[in-house]
């Protein structure tokens, strides 16, 4: 009693035991349930990875078909959720709308409070993975003043998401399969990342035994921040501001002087390279083959080259992270910057839910309640207003 460790940002404190994701930051290793991210990105689909992350094993054919069927069946949301979303201002940020509408789902599914029943947890996990693209796409259509598009359950998970975003007529929507695959890979890369800020938020809120929609809404809020998922949006804005390669040296000097951060660089865990960034570079090539090269690619590549040779970044072990190139791909796929973090959230949903599911079954878990080191005054005597003023 009375003894505690001061560890702001939990840089050295394990908050849980988990068998979902393994990271070796020095070696640049990322594995979901023991499978290397490179193999999953190359050979798997987002929904298969979602099953793996949540349930710990690759699905059999029957399990996979049932999982895809269930998720497809739950893509629609209650009409009143639509009404709720339509109440936002025309310029509402889609992440704010996503956070609020995910939280609102808790009122539509009061059965979700029955968190100790495994079948019930499965139901909520399916619902949430199914509905995230619908909510995200509607937040996007809202900002554009366009009618919301209902899910098309004949399409795959990722193609249906693109249809809800970009469909402009009654004609059947179809996207270039290479672009659909690239987006699927990006979702796979984001599916889990152990105790990052938003997952920690989901676990922390979930430890109060609230329903999973409320816990995941907290995760969306954490992800919104520019030091976490919001970094992909910030990277693109930064690249646009830099504009041309000639402006890079002055920009780098500003970063070194502490005026701002080089967004998309650095990671709490990866100190050599981020394996996701390597895979994303390859996805960039695939997408640009279809869409033509994003002119900001040249700025990004030169920025990376200069930073990797600069002592400031080398000394601090700052390398490009997953967000450095993802924004360029999203932009090539016609997403506006405000949508980038929504894409991250849709990809991260299986991870949040897997971690929540693990937490609920973990007998050792307690309600999250860190200690503090109090630095304020003590035992003051209250002076009435008439004597103070």
Candidates 113, 268, 271, 278: give the one binding ligand CMC (CB under 6 A). 268
Q: In this chain, which residue has its C-beta nearest to ligand CMC?
A: 266
DSSP-assigned letters across all residues of 73-128: HT----HHHHHHHHTS-TT--HHHHHHHHHHHHHHH-GGGG-TT-HHHHHHHHHHH
Q: Pick out residues in 182-221 that bind ligand CMC (CB under 6 A).
A: 193, 196
Does residue 265 bind ligand CMC (CB under 6 A)? Answer: yes
Residue 109 in 3-state DSSP? coil
- Residue 187 CB contacts under 8 Å (≥ 6 apart), including other chains: 46, 158, 343, 346, 347
How far is it, in rounded angstroms, from Cα 248 to Cα 283? 25
Q: Is the CB of residue 210 less than 8 Å from the CB of residue 124?
A: no
Q: Which is nearer to ligand CMC, 72 or 195 (CB)?
A: 195
CB 363 within 8 A of CB 255: no
Only segment of 90-98, 145-153, 261-269, 326-334 that touches ligand CMC (CB under 6 A): 261-269
Please, which residue, 134 or 321, has the CB nearer to ligand CMC?
321
Q: Is 267 a catalytic residue?
A: yes
Q: Name which of 151 and 320 has its Cβ closer to ligand CMC.
A: 320
Interface with ligand CMC by CB under 6 A: which range of 90-98, 102-110, 319-327, 348-356? 319-327
Enumerate the H helices of 225-317 as residue ranges.
231-242, 248-256, 275-291, 296-309, 311-315
7 labelled catalytic: no
Q: State in Å, rounded, how far the first CA of the chain is from the last one.
A: 41
The answer to whether 323 contacts ligand CMC (rule: CB under 6 A) is: yes
229 lies in the binding site for ligand CMC (CB under 6 A): yes
Judged by CB under 6 A, the stretch of 44-52, 54-62, 108-116, 256-264 that binds ligand CMC is 256-264
| DSSP annotation of 209 | T
In this structure, the number of other CB atoms found within 10 A of the CB of residue 380 comes to: 7
Q: Quote the least distance from Cβ 196 to ligand CMC, whole Å.
A: 5
Count Cα atoms within 13 angstroms, Cβ side, for 144: 19
Q: Which listed residue (23, 30, 115, 263) binds ligand CMC by CB under 6 A?
A: 263
Residue pair 132/157 in contact (Cβ under 8 Å)? The answer is: no
Catalytic one of 78, 122, 176, 228? 228
* 69 has catalytic annotation: no
Interaction of residue 228 with ligand CMC, rule CB under 6 A: yes
User: Tokens 């940002």 map to which residue?
Assistant: 9
List residues near ligand CMC by CB under 6 A: 9, 193, 196, 227-229, 231, 255, 261-268, 316, 318, 321-323
Residues designated as active site: 228, 267, 323
């Amino acid at each position: 009693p009375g003894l505690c460790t001061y560890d702001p940002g939990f840089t050295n404190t394990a908050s849980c035991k988990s068998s979902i994701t393994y990271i070796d930051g020095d070696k640049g290793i990322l594995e979901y349930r023991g499978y290397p991210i490179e193999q999953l990105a190359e050979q798997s689909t987002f929904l298969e990875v979602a099953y793996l992350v949540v349930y710990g094993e690759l699905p059999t054919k029957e399990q996979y078909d049932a999982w895809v069927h269930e998720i497809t069946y739950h893509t629609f949301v209650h009409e009143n959720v639509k009404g709720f979303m339509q109440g936002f201002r025309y310029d509402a940020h889609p992440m704010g709308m996503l956070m609020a509408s995910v939280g609102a789902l808790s009122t539509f599914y009061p059965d979700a409070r029955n968190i100790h029943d495994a079948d019930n947890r499965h139901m909520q996990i399916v619902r949430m993975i199914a509905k995230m693209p619908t909510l995200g796409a509607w937040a996007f259509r809202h900002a554009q003043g366009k009618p919301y598009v209902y899910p098309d359950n004949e399409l795959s998970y990722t193609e249906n998401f693109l249809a809800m975003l970009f469909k402009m007529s009654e004609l059947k929507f179809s996207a270039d399969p290479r672009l659909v695959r690239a987006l699927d890979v990006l979702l796979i890369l984001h599916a889990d990342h152990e105790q990052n800020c938003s997952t920690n938020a989901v676990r922390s809120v979930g430890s109060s035994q609230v329903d999973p929609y409320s816990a995941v809404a907290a995760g969306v809020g954490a992800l919104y921040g520019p030091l976490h998922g919001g970094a992909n949006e910030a990277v693109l804005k930064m690249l646009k501001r830099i504009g041309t390669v000639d402006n890079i040296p002055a920009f780098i000097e500003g970063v070194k002087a502490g005026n701002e951060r080089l967004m998309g660089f650095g990671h709490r865990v990866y100190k050599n390279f981020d394996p996701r960034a390597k895979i994303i570079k390859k996805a960039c090539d695939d997408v640009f083959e279809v869409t033509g090269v994003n002119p900001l690619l040249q700025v990004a590549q030169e920025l990376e080259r200069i930073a990797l040779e600069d002592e400031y970044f080398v000394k601090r072990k700052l390398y490009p992270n997953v967000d450095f190139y993802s924004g360029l791909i999203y932009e090539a796929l016609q997403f506006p910057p405000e949508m980038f973090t929504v894409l991250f959230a849709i990809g991260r949903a299986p991870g949040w839910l897997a971690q929540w599911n693990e937490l609920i079954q973990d007998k050792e878990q307690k309600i999250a309640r860190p200690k503090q080191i109090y630095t304020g005054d003590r035992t003051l005597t209250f002076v009435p207003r008439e004597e103070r003023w």
